[in-house]
Amino acid sequence: MAPATHLLVSWIIAAKTTDNPRDCRLVALAGVLPDLDGLGILADWYNSAVGNRDHEYYQRYHHYLMHGALAAVVIPLVLVCFSRQRLRVAFLALLVYHLHLLCDYVGSRGPDPGDKWPIFYLAPFSLQPMWICQWQWQLFGWQNGVISIVLFIWAIAMAIRRGDSFIGVFNRRADAVFVGTLLNWRRSFRARFEKRE
């Protein structure tokens, strides 16, 4: 699944299960950080733009470096160092991390039916076990689109009620602007609706 979808599902779980903004952000990050191994795509774009032949970093390392047991231990351990409720954050970070893997397992195929993305759970130490979902759907398939839209609507509704959103995982000022805009839209919509009555 796309990183934005991972962010939405992780933030919704974090917002429902934590009781302070810091722990919420940390748990949400645990569901997004596995995709750090996909940053090789930036090097690929650069190399392609300047004419270098070596532009296979994304294909080589995504789902390999950060989508396994080592990162499943390291990511929660690092995040717990910054948390308030350490045991809760450790458990939830481990949960959303593995939910990320499950979502990628079923929803990360390329455009070609044979272009399945495996999960190497013991990488980078071993290529076994290699888990491949035989019915894996496309990364940009309708299934991921529907899931992303539902999660986005759910997250927006939660943000209006809570006064903070998934944007706050990365920037609290931008989150305040985003939520303020949502609340203004809601007030404007209600005012128009009341005038019609």
pLDDT number for residue 48: 79
What band does 79 get if pLDDT is binned at 50, 70 and 90?
very high
pLDDT of 182 over the 80 cut = yes
Give the predicted TM-score (pTM) of the model. 0.88
Percent of the chain scoring above 90 in pLDDT: 59
Listed residue (97, 24, 107, 25) closest to 67, CA to CA: 97
Contacts by 161-169, CB closer than 8 A, 24 or more apart: 162/15, 164/21, 164/24, 165/11, 166/7, 166/8, 166/11, 166/28, 168/21, 168/25, 169/7, 169/11, 169/25, 169/28, 169/29, 169/32
The residue that leads in pLDDT, 18 or 197, is 18
What band does 156 get if pLDDT is binned at 50, 70 and 90?
very high
Rg (C-alpha) for the chain, rounded Å, is 19
pLDDT number for residue 87: 97
Q: Which helix (H) or strand (E) holds 133?
A: none
pLDDT number for residue 5: 96
Least confident of 83-87, 150-154, 179-183, 189-193: 189-193
The residue that leads in pLDDT, 5 or 62, is 5
Check residue 154 and give left, alpha or beta (phi > 0: left; psi -120 to 50: alpha).
alpha
Highest mean pLDDT among 15-24, 123-132, 185-194: 15-24
User: For residue 54, which phi and psi values (nearest 5 degrees)?
Assistant: -80, 95
Classify strands 119-120 and 130-131 as parallel, antiparallel or unpaired. antiparallel
Q: Map residue 149 onto helix, strand or coil.
A: helix
Buried b (16+ CB within 10 A) or exposed e, 2-12: beebbbbbbbb
User: For residue 119, which phi and psi values (nearest 5 degrees)?
Assistant: -110, 120
Write out pLDDT tens, residues 166-180: 999 999 999 999 999
pLDDT number for residue 180: 95
What band does 197 get if pLDDT is binned at 50, 70 and 90?
low
To the nearest whole number, what is the mean pLDDT of the chain? Answer: 90
Contacts by 90-94, CB closer than 8 A, 24 or more apart: 92/13, 92/14, 92/17, 92/18, 92/27, 92/30, 93/26, 93/27, 93/30, 94/30
**Spatial separation of the C-alpha atoms in residues 104 and 64, rounded to whole Å:** 12
